[in-house]
A and B are shown apart, each in its own frame.
Chain A
Amino acid sequence: MTPTHVVSPSDKAELQSQRKRAALLFLVPMLAALVLVAAYPLFRSIYFSFTDTSLTNLYGGQWVGFDNYLSWRTLPSGRTIYRGTLVDQAWWNAVWNTVRFAVVSVSLEAFFGMMVALVLNAEFKGRGLVRAAILIPWAIPTIVSAKMWSWMLNDQFGIVNDVLMKLGIISQKIAWTANVDTAMLAVLIVDIWKTTPFMALLCLAGLQMIPKDVYEASKIDGVHPVKVFFKITLPLVKPALMVAIIFRMLDALRIFDLIYVLTPNSSSTKTMSIISRENMIEFDKFAYGSAQSTLLFTFIALFVILYIWLGRVDLSGDSK
């Protein structure tokens, strides 16, 4: 790796092994920290999901196998009763909410992000100002944006209802966050507002890597701009866009804070993270909540593995 000309081959080998030993030593603190805060807690969480541990009896849990996931008992009358997360209506509702939220929000963010990126990629006066402006939603803490928007979406005194009434789009005030039909819409609006900038910045970075002469060539040939976008820009920016989408997708699947503050206790927006924590901490069903968090983890892990396997992404940098 280090072609030095002054050292002899044996010295070089010695140097290499010295570097390797040092490297190992340098990795130890980080690895120890990750084992302590990630690997071990993850292992314990999975373990808890196979026990009957409760919040009030953290250390006295007994092994119960898959009971938290699924168990059944046949009554003398011949009827079978199923229990566990996998037959829990509330859980499947949360799964559906999470998937729906993730797919809709990430698709719309990709669309708007691309649009903003295309605008920022054009040369115009005040471009720096626009770029600074779109960083603001990104910089605002999620909890703060949830509160800001729940004030703006307030049914009686909110500015959103006021604007829509004045424009004549709605005839009566809507309780955005409390209403079952609009709660998910409210969550989507806030999430898209908050995370489109991230998407736009990643898309912009991708756009800026496209060499300018590609555009010049198509301009000389007189290709229509829309065609240029679909035939040249989009294919070239696709790798960057895919990475942005995958990051956002993983983020969206574990969403917690925005929903916890914006639409608390609304069954139409409860996600897997929300319901899992609720069982763990608030309902004293520690093991049951752990089973749900384990399912979410498995779901996300499968998603990542599938993506890496399909995409054959090389992350080690060795190929460079």
Chain B
Amino acid sequence: MKILKTISFYLLVLAIVVISVFPFYYAIVTSFKTGTALFEVDYWPKSFSLGNYYAVFQQGEFPRNILNSVFIATLTVVLSLLMGVTASYALARVRFRGRGLLLMTILAVSMFPQIAVLSGLFEMIRYIGIYNTPWALIMSYTIFTLPFTVWVLTTFMRDLPIEIEEAAIVDGATPWQIIVKVFLPLMWPALVTTGLLAFIGAWNEFLFALTFTSSNETRTVPVAIGLLSGATQYETPWGIIMAASVLVTVPIIIMVLIFQRKIVAGLTAGGVKG
């Protein structure tokens, strides 16, 4: 009876692992196949050709799309962290009237359906004249990265002991010095976590990127992959799509696996502690 229990438990574990990993494994297998090999279902890698990967870099603007994504996601993260650190210090360490309401509003913004601001943002982006440039996306991504950053950093700062601040206050440090000299050195773990999660959010975003850019050179990776099509309408280049998918996913997966503890902590900080 006990053996049966153990076996069924490990079968469940096996099922979880296989279901989680298989689709990505299959994408990798497919990305190495070209020509007619694509149209045979293989469970194990049989052919190995880098043709699709060459094609990804030669056709279209894919390298450019990757650069766009890196630039946009990095700048979005930096801006959100800059504004997030100071704001969360005020929200976590200083008592003032309306603080609870403000925090609620920030949380509400992070739950916004993006479509609700689409037409307003579209008009604004056209008006400023940044349509079809990376700036349109950097600006619009702030709507989901900033509230999230502020929220997680605030929960983190609130839990730091008050004594660390007291000594600095006694020494006559200004609030700005307290942030830079006292909190920043302690906050690296939280900054890495929120930075990573914000980066992933910006890297994966689709709706704004699809709507606010219109040419191949300005697209980000998700839109480029989403709109990748073959020479004719009926011929989807599955091999190339899979190669591109693998290329943009591998760095993210490696990053997530390296920082998995921090990421899990960050994901749950927003939820469970709130």
Contacts and interface: CB of A to CB of B under 8 A. Distances in A.
A20 B94 contact: yes
B130 interface: no
Interface of A: 1-2, 4, 6-7, 15, 18-20, 22-24, 26-27, 29-31, 33-34, 36-38, 40-45, 47-48, 58, 115-116, 119, 122, 124, 126, 129-149, 151-152, 154, 156-159, 162, 193, 197-198, 201-202, 205-206, 209, 240, 243-244, 247, 250, 253-254, 256-257, 260-261, 272-273, 276-277, 280-281, 286, 289-290, 293-294, 296-297, 300, 304, 308, 313-318, 320
A254 B100 contact: no
Contact of B165 (A2, A154, A197, A250): A2
Given A19-B175, A254-B114, A148 B27 contact: yes
Given A45-B120, A315-B104, 7 more contacts: A2-B166, A40-B124, A119-B16, A135-B260, A137-B20, A162-B41, A205-B272
Of listed B20, B40, B102, B256, residue having the most chain A CB within 10 A:
B20
Given A45-B118, A297-B113, A2 B226 contact: no
B4 interface: no
Contacts of B126: 58
A83 to B, nearest CB: 20
A44 B100 contact: no
A4 B206 contact: no
Contacts of B123: 41, 44, 48, 58
Interface residues of B, number: 105
Contacts of A30: 83-84, 86-87, 146, 150
Contacts, number: 307
28 contacts: A2-B162, A19-B94, A22-B94, A24-B96, A26-B87, A27-B91, A29-B82, A38-B117, A38-B143, A40-B124, A41-B123, A58-B126, A132-B260, A135-B260, A137-B23, A140-B253, A141-B221, A147-B241, A156-B39, A197-B20, A202-B267, A205-B264, A205-B268, A260-B210, A286-B119, A297-B112, A300-B112, A300-B116
B184 to A, nearest CB: 14
The secondary-structure label for the interface of chain B is: helix
Interface of B: 9-10, 12-13, 16-17, 19-21, 23-24, 26-27, 30, 38-41, 43, 82-84, 86-87, 89-92, 94-96, 99-100, 102-104, 106-109, 111-124, 126, 139-140, 142-143, 146-147, 150, 154-155, 158, 162, 165-166, 169-170, 174-176, 179, 200, 203-204, 206-207, 210-211, 221-223, 225-226, 238, 241-242, 245, 248-249, 252-253, 256-257, 260, 263-264, 267-268, 270-272, 274
A68 to B, nearest CB: 12
Contact of A37 (B102, B143, B257): B143
Nearest to A61: B123
